[in-house]
């Protein structure tokens, strides 16, 4: 059986921090599934399909990647996508507590293991919410997001 990992998030929008985890993670597994979901307690700048297109475009040169959308529990998506590992990025101690709880819950629910990759120091402070806040207030986010996301955000904010 091949090693298939699932890397899930909202990706609203995709950042260079996500791309760092995706490109390093793709080298560790036979296949990496990037799964884009909605958290019911959040409101989004881009809808699911727009986020899927942005991730697919920005990551088209990374081999062994599949981009999907999902609803419901990550363990359910992992099973339906044939993933046997959950991949997560860890930015800081602040991420740890939630990730620790989710990782243990997911293993309890389905037996699936979670693998953490440490964020790359230059990307450690980048988050989707920070990128949105900076761009909404007219700041420069061009080094924090890929070119297609920058274009999409400029277009969205101009409307
Ligand atoms: P959500 O909106 O569901 O919190 P995110 O899109 O923010 O999801 O994050 C998805 C995954 O990417 C998480 O594992 C998160 O820790 C990781 N991640 C987010 N930003 C970075 C970054 N700058 N460097 C490394 N990992 C990151």
Whether 58 contacts 148, CB under 8 Å: yes
Q: 155 pLDDT exceeds 70?
A: yes
Q: What is the pLDDT of residues 91-144, one digit of tens each?
A: 987 789 999 999 999 999 999 999 999 999 999 999 999 999 999 999 999 999
Catalytic residue among 52, 88, 91, 123: 91
Annotated catalytic residue 42 = yes
pTM over 0.85: yes
Q: What is the pLDDT of residues 20-55, one digit of tens each?
A: 999 999 999 999 999 999 988 889 999 999 999 999
Whether 85 contacts 29, CB under 8 Å: yes
| Gap from CA of 19 to ligand 1 centroid (Å) | 10
Annotated catalytic residue 3 = no
Instruction: Return the pLDDT at 23.
Output: 98
Report which ligand 1 atom has the smallest distance to the Cα of 95: 16
Whether 54 contacts 150, CB under 8 Å: no
């Amino acid at each position: 059986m091949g090693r298939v990992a699932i890397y899930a998030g909202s990706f609203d929008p995709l950042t260079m921090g996500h791309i760092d985890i995706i490109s390093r993670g793709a080298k560790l597994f036979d296949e990496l599934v990037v799964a884009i979901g909605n958290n019911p307690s959040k409101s989004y700048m881009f809808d699911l399909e727009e986020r899927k297109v942005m991730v697919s475009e920005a990551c088209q040169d990374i081999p062994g990647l599949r981009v999907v959308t999902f609803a419901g529990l990550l363990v359910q998506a992992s099973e339906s996508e044939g993933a046997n590992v959950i991949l997560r990025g860890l930015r800081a101690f602040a991420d740890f507590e939630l990730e620790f709880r989710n990782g243990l819950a997911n293993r309890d629910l389905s037996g699936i293991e979670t693998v953490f990759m440490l964020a790359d120091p230059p990307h450690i402070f980048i988050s989707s919410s920070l990128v949105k806040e900076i761009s909404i207030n007219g700041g420069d986010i061009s080094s924090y997001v890929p070119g297609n996301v920058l274009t999409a955000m400029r277009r969205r904010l101009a409307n």
